[in-house]
Amino acid sequence: MNFYKACMLCIFLMLGAELSAQHTRVVIFPNQDSLEWAESKQVFTAFDLPLLIQNLSQINTPSKVEVIQSNDSYLAWEDCNLNVYRWENGNWSNTYKYNNYGYFCDGYPLFWKDQLHLLGGNGLVNYHTDLLIFEEPLGSWEFVSTKFQPLDYNTPFVGMGEKGAFSFFGKKFNLRNGLEASWEGGYYLDLTSLTWFEIKLTWPNSIDQKLLSTLQATSIDLKDFQLMQLSEGWFVFQKSDYKLFHVSNQVLKIEDPVFWLSEDNHLTWKNRGQPINQIQVSDLLSQAVLVAEGEIIPVKSEKVRTLQVQNILIALFFLGLVIILVMRLYKKRKIASTSKPAVEEEEVVMEEEQLEGDSFWKRILKMDGQILSTAQLDEFLVIQSLTPENRKAKRSRMIKAFNERAESEFGREIIFRERDPEDKRFFRFRIDIKK
C-alpha cells in the first residue's frame, strides 16, 4: 500500500443517465493499516470498490486519481496528466491519446449532459478556470469557450449545482506579472449558457469574515450543500439560497479521515482509529451560525479581462511594432540611397590621395615585419573615428588598394590577415614586404 499512502483517491459515483450534479461521492484515504482498511471497505461492498482500488496501481500516479461512475462504467482521471482511464475487464485502459502534463493540476472533473468535463487548474506560471470536455471517440480534451471567464484564478472549493458549478475563496496567481492575491468572493459558471457570474458575499459581521484566513483546502460536495473546511470548523454553503453558515468542530469533526461518503445530503465518514459516523447535513443548520449571504450578479466590466480582448491587444501591439520597423527600415534605406554615393566617392578620393603620396607609402614600407591588431591598423589608417560598420568597410578597401599597388611593384601582396593565435576569435594583420 505504499502507493496509496502518498495519494488521495477520490471516487465519485454518478447515478442516473443525465446527471448535472454529483449526488454520491466517495473520498478514500488509503493507508497501511489492514484492519482499518478492511473495516472501511465494508461500507462500499455494493459498489465493488475493493477491486477498483486494488487495480489503481496500474495508473502509477504520484498525485491523485478521481474515479467517476457514469451509468454502468467507470472512468478515472489522472491529476495533472489529463489521462482518462476506462475500467474494462478488470483493468484500466487509457483512452487519452496524447502526452500532456501539468496546467490542469487540481482541476475539478464533473459530468454534464453525460460527458466528462474538467474545470480549472493550477499551471506552472498561472492559475485558470478553463473548461474542457473529453471527446472519448477522439481520445482528446477539447476547449470549451465561456463568456466573462475569470482569468488567473482557481480554487479547491468547487461544487456542482443543478445547472452549473460554484467556486469559492480561490487565489489569483500569475507569475508573469507578479499577481498573487486571495479572492474573498466566488464565481458561478452557468453550464446552460456557458457564462460566468460573480458570487457577491455580504458579511453582516466583519469578525466572521476573518474565518477566511483559516481555510484548509478541503471541500465536500453534496446535493444541496457544499462543505469547506476551516481550522476551527466548517463553512456550509446552501446552494438553494446562496447562504453561508459556520459550524464548529464539535458539530462536525472530520480529522485524519480514512474515507467519507456523501449520498445526496447524507454524509458518512470514518476518522482513523474511530468508529464510523453519519449525519444528515441539513440537520447541521440547526446548530450553525449564518455568517454571509450570497448574490449571483453579472461580472463587472472593470473586472473582466477576457481572452478575446487580450488577444486583440497583443495583435495590435505586434501590428504596430511591424509598422514602426517597416517605416524605420524604409527611412534608413532612403537616407542611405541619397548619401552613400557621395560618401563612397569621398572615401575613394582620400584613399587614392593617401596611396599616391610617397610619404604615406614609405611609412608602410618601414613597418615591414610588424604585426598589428585591428585597433592598431585602424589607427594607422586614420579611420578609428568612423562607425564600426564604416570602419570595417573602409579598412577592407584600403588593404585591397595597398596590396594592388604592392603587386605592381613587388609582384605580390604585403598585408596579410590571420587569426590571433592567443585568441582565435580575433584577427591580426601582418606586414611582410621582404618575403
Query: What pLDDT is recorded for position 246?
Result: 92
Of 165-179, 299-313, 337-351, give the lowest mean pLDDT range.
337-351
Strands 276-280, 266-271: pairing kind:
antiparallel
Tens of pLDDT along 381-428? 888 888 888 888 888 888 888 888 888 888 888 888 888 888 888 888
Cell of 368: 615591414
Q: Are 264 and 215 in contact (CB under 8 A)?
A: no
Query: What pLDDT is recorded for position 378?
Result: 86
What is the percent of the chain with per-residue pLDDT over 90, rounded to a whole number?
19
Stated length of the chain = 435
Q: Are 402 and 379 in contact (CB under 8 A)?
A: no
Query: What pLDDT is recorded for position 57?
Result: 60
Q: Are 270 and 252 in contact (CB under 8 A)?
A: no
Of 235-249, 261-275, 333-347, 355-369, give the lowest mean pLDDT range.
333-347
**Stretch 276-295: mean pLDDT, rounded?**
89
- Using the predicted structure, report yes or no on whether residue 22 has a pLDDT greater than 60: no
Query: What pLDDT is recorded for position 347?
Result: 47
The CA-atom distances, in angstroms, between 424 and each of 371, 377, 379 are 15, 18, 22
Q: Which of 94, 98, 55, 54 is nearest to 78 (CA)?
A: 94
- Using the predicted structure, report yes or no on whether residue 331 has a pLDDT greater than 60: yes
Q: Which of 8-12, 32-36, 150-154, 355-359 has the highest mean pLDDT?
A: 150-154
Q: For the chain, give the mean pLDDT.
A: 77
Q: What is the pTM of this model?
A: 0.61
Query: What pLDDT is recorded for position 43?
Result: 58
Query: What pLDDT is recorded for position 362?
Result: 74
- Using the predicted structure, report yes or no on whether residue 143 has a pLDDT greater than 90: yes
Query: What pLDDT is recorded for position 273?
Result: 81
Report d(CA 237, CA 157) in Å as an integer: 11
Query: What pLDDT is recorded for position 164?
Result: 94
Query: What pLDDT is recorded for position 3?
Result: 33
Between 1 and 197, where is the model more confident?
Answer: 197
**Stretch 292-301: mean pLDDT, rounded?**
86
- Using the predicted structure, report yes or no on whether residue 20 has a pLDDT greater than 50: no
Q: Are 270 and 259 in contact (CB under 8 A)?
A: yes
Cell of 245: 453558515
Give the pLDDT band (50/70/90) at residue 71.
low
Query: What pLDDT is recorded for position 310?
Result: 66
Give the pLDDT band (50/70/90) at residue 18.
very low
Query: What pLDDT is recorded for position 196?
Result: 96
The CA-atom distances, in angstroms, between 363 and each of 59, 183, 354 are 83, 79, 11
Q: Which of 20-29, 42-51, 305-314, 350-359 has the highest mean pLDDT?
A: 305-314
CA triple 296-301-304, angle to 5 deg = 90
Quick one: DSSP state of residue 44?
A: G
- Using the predicted structure, report yes or no on whether residue 55 has a pLDDT greater than 80: no
**Stretch 265-290: mean pLDDT, rounded?**
86
- Using the predicted structure, report yes or no on whether residue 137 has a pLDDT greater than 80: yes
Query: What pLDDT is recorded for position 130?
Result: 95
Q: Are 165 and 188 in contact (CB under 8 A)?
A: yes
Of 51-65, 84-98, 285-299, give the lowest mean pLDDT range.
51-65
Q: Are 86 and 134 in contact (CB under 8 A)?
A: no
Return the SS3 of 139.
coil
Of 19-23, 195-199, 246-250, give the lowest mean pLDDT range.
19-23
Query: What pLDDT is recorded for position 60?
Result: 56
Q: Which of 10, 21, 56 is nearest to 260 (CA)?
A: 10
Query: What pLDDT is recorded for position 28?
Result: 61
- Using the predicted structure, report yes or no on whether residue 303 has a pLDDT greater than 50: no
Query: What pLDDT is recorded for position 34?
Result: 44
- Using the predicted structure, report yes or no on whether residue 357 has a pLDDT greater than 70: no
- Using the predicted structure, report yes or no on whether residue 194 has a pLDDT greater than 90: yes
**Stretch 291-297: mean pLDDT, rounded?**
93
Query: What pLDDT is recorded for position 44?
Result: 55
Backbone angles phi, psi at 149, to 5 degrees: -65, 130
Between 290 and 249, where is the model more confident?
Answer: 290
